Structure 1
Amino acid sequence: ILDTEELPTVEMPYFFYRPDSGVAECLNGWLKNGGTHHQVLHLGDVRPRWKAWCDLAGIDYVEV
C-alpha cells in the first residue's frame, strides 16, 4: 500500500506498480474473484472504507 497523499505528476491515466504479493499472485487473486478488466488504485490505505461500503451494500469484500 502506497501510504502517501501524492504521486509525482502522472501525465497519462496509467502508470506502473508492483504489488507486494507479486504480479502473478495479485492477478490470479483478481481473476479468481471475478475481477473485470478495470482496476482502481487508491493512494493510502482506504481498505476500511471499502470494507464498510461493501458491508452496507451487501457486496462481498475480498482483498487480493
Structure 2
Amino acid sequence: MADVVRLTEWLARTPRRDTARPVAPAQILLFTGVRYERLTSAMLAARRKAAKHGTTDTARRP
C-alpha cells in the first residue's frame, strides 16, 4: 500500500553534498520576446516612401 520512510534514517544513509559556494555573481537574462531583424534596402525604401506621405507606421500586415 504505502512505504513508510523514516526521514532521520534516510538522511543518515544519503551522502552529504558540499554546500554551494558562489564563484561569481549570478547573471539573470530576461527574454523580452522582441524579435530583431536586419533592415533591408526594401524596408528602408518603404520608410522613405511613407515619410513622404506623412505615414509613420510601415509595419507589414497580412
Please indicate, yes or no, whether the TM-score normalized by the shorter chain is above 0.5: no
TM-score (structure 2 length as normaliser): 0.29
TM-score (structure 1 length as normaliser): 0.28
Which structure has the larger Rg? 2
Structure number with the bigger relative contact order (C-alpha 8 A, sep ≥ 6) is: 1
